[in-house]
Amino acid sequence: MKKLINAFGWYGAVAILAAYFLNSFGLIKADSAAYQLLNVTGAVGIVLVSYVRRAYQPMALNAVWTVIGLVALAKIFLRV
């Protein structure tokens, strides 16, 4: 179980960095579903590993990051 949780954490870090890289070099836009999905799933991975390790600062940061991403996704899919 510990390896699985660590894998989620590593996925989270890679996903968020990938989103930033892809957006910074113009390969995806910040208002795209792909960008937001990378951020949301990445943040959830970091929330999970942070919770297990009782690292509450990154957990709080990424919980907020997740909510922001989910709201952005809702706006994309609902065209609000």
Q: In this predicted structure, what is the pLDDT of residue 32?
A: 96
Average the pLDDT over 50-77 and give the result.
97
Closest CA to 70 of 41, 47, 40, 42: 40
The pLDDT tens digits of the residues spanning 14-27 come to 999 999 999 999 99
Region for 79 from its dihedrals, namely left if φ exceeds 0, alpha if ψ lies in -120 to 50, beta otherwise: left
pLDDT at residue number 80? 63
Averaged pLDDT for residues 61-75: 97
User: What would the two tokens of residue 23 be?
Assistant: 């957006």
| Helix axes of 56-78 and 33-52: crossing angle, nearest 10 degrees | 160
Residue 78 to residue 3: CA distance in whole angstroms? 37
- pLDDT 10s digits, 25-55: 999 999 999 999 999 999 999 999 999 999 9
Locate the domains of the chain by residue range: 2-78
